[in-house]
């Protein structure tokens, strides 16, 4: 799956129809089969917009999203159906996506029959298998979404996504609303399923500790741009972009003993309606120079382990 998107994207801000925000800007990245790509950044940076573009909820106003080389917005109805099945999205709040009047069994049966995954007589057996896959008891079939805990509801959402045998799962803050102990269970379930079923996952979350645990690669987004992307362990242990450095050192979950002397992330995230010129991070960056104010840095390979968009990445990371 590739998404070399162009400049601006419509951001359908609730209650403000027609407002155009440059929610993502020149984002170009590949999601590689079998990997988990983490996407991190402050809230409002475009993480969710990226996830929603990939599942075709928002069409990009420029650029394209390619799946196996095909533009996912240019296909016919049949291609759309196939893409909608193969790439499944899961949201933070399964309340909003699970019909409150349908039992778990009905929810899973509906997903199976809409996409004609099984002939009618085989559906009950497949519903049982799906519950087993996500480690829910069989009697869950007869219960309504509100009868489950938050973690169990996310398991139902995962089972529904798996019902249509997807290849790619897009998880947007999948476990953010759950207690830490429950988060671990759901995330470990997801990792087991990924291994057993060969899934590719895009994992969007603001919890860096979780992203580190889950991801093979990580993309750091700032104001709708990827500022750094690379192997997860390398990026978390030695972030190269000043924004990644600030974001990671400000995270108490990654630096439990280091809260006091962390690099401070100064200032507010600027509004996407009022984008800074040049490097989008220059107003908050301690290393900013004149070129940073005028010229947007391109994402460039750095030290063979990732790509960084910063004019001064060499100096900043020079090892004395």
Sites of contact with ligand SF4 (CB under 6 A): 242, 279, 281-282, 285, 287-288, 292, 297, 310-312
Relative to beta strand 28-30, strand 2-4 is: antiparallel
Q: Shortest approach of ligand SF4 to residue 297 CB, angstroms?
A: 5
The per-residue DSSP string of 152-185 comes to: HHHHHHHHHHHHT--SEEEEESTTTTS-HHHHHH
- Comparing CA positions, the residue from 285, 210, 317 lying closest to residue 254 is 210
**CB closer to Mg ion out of 48 and 200:** 48
The entry of Mg ion, ligand SF4, none that residue 56 binds, CB within 5 to 8 Å by partner kind:
none
* Binding partner selected for residue 288 from Mg ion, ligand SF4, none, CB under the kind-specific 5 to 8 Å limit: ligand SF4
Q: Which of 25, 36, 48, 49 binds Mg ion (CB under 5 A)?
A: 48
Q: Which is nearer to ligand SF4, 12 or 312 (CB)?
A: 312
The entry of Mg ion, ligand SF4, none near residue 48 (CB within 5 to 8 angstroms by kind) is Mg ion
State the residue for tokens 């489950």. 148
How many Cβ atoms are within 10 Å of 204's Cβ, its own excluded?
24
Coil, helix or strand for 118? coil
Q: Are 216 and 287 spatial neighbours (Cβ–Cβ below 8 Å)?
A: no
Provide, rounded to whole angstroms, the least separation between the CB of residue 78 and ligand SF4.
45
Structure tokens belonging to residue 227: 């500022």
With CB under 5 to 8 Å by kind, the binding choice for 51 among Mg ion, ligand SF4, none is none
Give dist(CA 89, CA 134) in Å, integer: 16
- In the complex, the smallest distance separating the C-beta of residue 45 from ligand SF4, rounded to whole angstroms, is 15
Residue 147 or 266 with smaller CB distance to ligand SF4:
266
Nearer to Mg ion, 48 or 244 (CB): 48
Q: How far is the CB of 194 from ligand SF4 (least distance, A)?
A: 33
Q: Which of 63, 45, 47, 55 is nearest to 9 (CA)?
A: 63
Return the residue nearest Mg ion (CB atom).
48
């Amino acid at each position: 799956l590739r998404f070399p998107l162009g400049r601006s994207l419509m951001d359908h801000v609730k209650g403000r129809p027609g407002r155009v925000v440059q929610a993502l800007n020149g984002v170009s990245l590949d999601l590689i089969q079998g990997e988990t790509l983490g996407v991190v950044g402050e809230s409002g940076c475009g993480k969710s917009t990226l996830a929603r573009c990939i599942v075709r909820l928002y069409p990009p106003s420029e650029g394209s999203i390619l799946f196996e080389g095909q533009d996912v917005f240019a296909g016919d109805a049949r291609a759309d159906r196939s893409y909608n099945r193969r790439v499944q999205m899961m949201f933070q709040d399964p309340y909003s996506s699970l019909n409150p009047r349908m039992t778990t069994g009905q929810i899973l049966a509906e997903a199976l029959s809409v996409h004609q995954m099984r002939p009618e007589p085989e559906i009950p057996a497949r519903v049982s298998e799906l519950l087993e896959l996500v480690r829910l008891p069989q009697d869950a079939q007869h219960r309504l979404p509100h009868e489950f805990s938050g973690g169990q509801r996310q398991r139902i959402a995962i089972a529904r996504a798996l019902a249509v045998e997807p290849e790619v799962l897009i998880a947007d803050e999948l476990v953010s609303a759950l207690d830490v102990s429950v988060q671990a269970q759901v995330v470990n379930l997801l990792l087991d399923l990924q291994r057993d079923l060969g899934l590719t996952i895009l994992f969007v979350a603001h919890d860096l500790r979780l992203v580190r645990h889950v991801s093979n690669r990580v993309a750091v987004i700032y104001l709708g741009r990827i500022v750094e992307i690379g192997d997860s362990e390398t990026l978390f242990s030695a972030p190269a972009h000043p924004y990644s450095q600030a974001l990671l050192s400000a995270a108490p979950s990654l630096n439990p003993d280091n809260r006091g002397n962390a690099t401070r992330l100064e200032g507010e995230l600027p509004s996407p309606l009022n984008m800074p010129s040049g490097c989008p991070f220059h107003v908050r960056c301690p290393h900013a120079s004149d070129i940073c104010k005028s010229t947007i840095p391109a994402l460039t390979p750095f030290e063979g382990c990732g790509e960084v968009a910063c004019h001064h990445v060499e100096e900043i990371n020079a090892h004395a």
